Structure 1
């Protein structure tokens, strides 16, 4: 509009000047805010933060908070603008949009094969939290306030808890085939999927040694992911149906933490829900769809559903986490961790990092601000079995079979025996137990030392007798094994001419390992095995020099890798 009515003829015919240029924006102008004169009359516009209404003259305020990326957390609309703020436990950054978590730095916790590892935010430093998880991990979560890591293994039917502070490990066995898990950090209840023929969602408390059925899953559906927001009193889960017509279908549900007030948040909208997380400040649920390659979100009521990000950056997403307004997910089978900022310029939102661990399927984030401290209604509960949270923030009592009872009310006897039996809880070693162990060890140490001394004396006498009887007479027993292998050391062509020899019963031959033989070093780094049996010939095995390079890892440890070499290729011994 700057070239119109500017006292200069910018058009060849001069149509950009004259007319009503001098009178358009005078006292009779209809524009409420900004008026642009034109030869045909006034043209109205509005300042930043306002929008021109349908009458073409008046301006209305824009509610910037209606967009999902105005602020990282809380947004307050003002006349012509907006103001961002943060939840307690976070601080507003200098950009006046994003929030920084107070407290310690964020860390990733993830499973890698049979290891549980901890990694810094920039992925530069890695610690092995637990070196032997024994079996493949099927679920992973944390309690940030108490610095505890929880994981499940379905084959062993076990759920573990490990303290990152003292190293104490507590676990429960006999829980069937546990899949994904989610921790209520307020009550320390652990929710888990029981992957039987008819699946159930259950809950247990490892310290109180109690458990209960929360809800049943419809036949033909399998629960893929769980999430618990105890501040709202909600349990979320995703179910995937059996594939029909080569297309799966996923639904997302919500209930209170006792399994009541069940609500269907999405019906046949997703295909394979492979990740589930939430924003407890804005009450938004995020869902990763591995089949459609999308990350979508909705509010806790299942409304306002829309796609957050999709396309090439969301290939095969598994697991999902949110921290400081940034979503994180894994790309299946690659060890690639992708991040996506929910605010700011769209061209600068995607980030990719490599874990250099390709068999990880589960990760979560450890940081206290993610799990704020709230009062625990179950702290002094009077439930005879399980105490869980209601949606209103009150305590509720559950029996093992899922029956809901009042405080102090006894649970009814179960009508049916659980096919998986009762879970067995195993407590970790506390300080008192350690002291008792140390005392017991101290009392028994004298006996152990005496036994060792006696054993040494007996062995010394035996060695002396052996020397006097055999060694001085020139007998040299040799315990080296001798293997007959006609293909050892031959070229490939010679090996192919050999007829395979299969031993049948009655044709087995054994060589006495006590036959005399000797070993000597041959020039050019060869080792010769000389047999004193005249019927046998010498066997030569060349041992080449190994080339190795040293790699300094980021955790300041050193690891040596032996490079492959053709010289090291040797025919197998048959």
Structure 2
């Protein structure tokens, strides 16, 4: 019983003719009229990572620490991923897939008319670190898996009352932050902005040492980020000439990265 249409096609016999149709995963070659395998891996998006073409079909494969689901590779344990959000007076944790309407965890709540101005996650230390302004102003942290859910001041900020952006160096555990002023709050509103002591600072999370890295600011330093692997930090400045700067994490090698067409770079 030889299939006149070939092994890769189905055959339908009528009274007057023979109808051949390629099986799924095959297509007819217009030159020799034979059914040939379709290489689905040549189609963009067939698989999210690796694609192995097999006769009449294909198979997706994933890198290590990923698993396959509906031809897509997702990170193993993604169901345990949490998105942390600072929402003015609250720090919230949203479980994957990060739907606000679903149940979420309140990491911390800020009272006394204070508000959160910056936040970063320090996963190596299993904690969330954030900054607040006024009542009280300072830097605080909370252990993510602390059963007693205690809120503790890091002891890092004593005289600095107006921290803004904050970033954690996950290699050394040091904290970098931008600060508005060491003045009394009344002086902030009665002193010209050029006299305010804007600064970029660094300190230890659980230590007494902190220092001002940079104090010469042509505007208000706002957001800050660090890249410990390259030993660099980056921050935004708001003012008459808003810009984005970078320097090494010890304050040297300072230069402006972006200056044109910036209005108010807050993050």
Same fold by TM (over 0.5)? yes
Partner Cα separation in structure 2 for residue 110 and residue 194 of structure 1: 21
User: Gaps (5+ residues) in structure 1?
Assistant: 1-48, 50-71, 74-84, 243-248, 276-574
TM-fit CA distance, 1:115: 2.5
TM-score (norm: length of structure 1): 0.29
Q: Structure 2: how far apart are the matches of 1:214 and 1:251?
A: 18
* Cα distance in 1 for residues equivalent to 2:73 and 2:228: 24
Matched, 1:153 2:139: no
Tell me the residue number matched to 1:171.
154
Q: Write the distance in 2 (CA, Å) between the matches of 1:229 and 1:96.
A: 34
Distance 1:95 1:240 in 2: 46
Match of 1:239 among 237, 240, 246: 237
**Cα drift, residue 198 of structure 1:** 2.9
Match of 1:216 in 2: 215
SS in structure 2 at match of 1:145: helix
**Residue 262 of structure 2 corresponds to which residue in structure 1?**
270
Output one character per residue of 1:275-306: Cα deviation in whole Å (capped at 9) or x when no partner: 2xxxxxxxxxxxxxxxxxxxxxxxxxxxxxxx
1:403-422 Cα distance to aligned partner (Å, 9 max, x none)? xxxxxxxxxxxxxxxxxxxx
CA contact (8 A) 2:110 2:116 kept: no
Q: Paired residue for 1:20?
A: none
1:127 to 78, 98, 105: 105
Q: What's the offset of the Cα at 1:180?
A: 1.0
Q: Once the 2 structures are TM-superposed, how far is the Cα of residue 192 of structure 1 from its aligned partner?
A: 0.8
Match of 2:92 among 90, 114, 117: 117
Q: Measure the CA separation in 1 of the matches of 2:68 and 2:266.
A: 32
1:258 matched to which residue of 2?
250
Residue correspondence of structure 1 range 175-574 to structure 2 within 5 A: 175-196=160-181, 197-219=196-218, 221-242=219-240, 249-275=241-267
In the alignment, is the contact (CA less than 8 A) between 1:153 and 1:178 conserved in 2?
yes
**The structure with more radius of gyration:** 1
Structure 2: 5+ residue runs without aligned partners? 1-41, 43-47, 50-61, 182-195
TM-score relative to the length of structure 2: 0.60
Assess if the C-alpha contact under 8 Å between 2:154 and 2:206 holds in 1.
no
- SS of 1:110's partner is strand
Q: Which of 115, 122, 127 is residue 143 of structure 1 equivalent to?
A: 122
SS at match of 2:141: strand
- Measured after TM superposition, the shift of residue 170 of structure 1 is 3.1
The 2-side partners of 1:175 and 1:122 are apart by 36
In proportion to residue count, which structure has more strand? 2
Counterpart secondary structure, 2:260: strand
Asked if structure 2 preserves the Cα contact closer than 8 Å seen for 1:116 and 1:133, the reply is no
1:154 Cα offset (Å): 1.8
Per the TM alignment, residue 110 of structure 1 is displaced from its structure 2 partner at its CA by 2.1
Question: Structure 2 vs 1, CA of residues 99 and 212 (structure 1 numbering), >3 Å: closer, same or farther?
Answer: farther
Kindly report the root-mean-square deviation, in angstroms, between the aligned alpha carbons of the 2 structures.
3.0
Q: Which has the higher contact order (CA 8 A, sep 6+)?
A: 1
Count how many residue pairs are aligned between Structure 1 and Structure 2.
Answer: 185
Q: Deviations over 1:148-170 (max 9, x none)?
A: 11111121331101112123423
Deviation at 1:174, TM superposition (A): 2.3
**Consecutive aligned runs of 4 or more in structure 1 exceeding 4 Å deviation:** 92-99, 101-104
Higher percent of residues as helix: 1
Q: How far apart in 2 are the matches of 1:273 and 1:199?
A: 16
SS of alignment partner, residue 270 of structure 1: coil
Deviation at 1:235, TM superposition (A): 0.5
**Alpha-carbon deviations, 1:69-104, whole Å to 9, x = none?**
xxx99xxxxxxxxxxx98x9x648679997737666
**Contact 1:157 1:174 (C-alpha < 8 Å) held by counterparts:** no
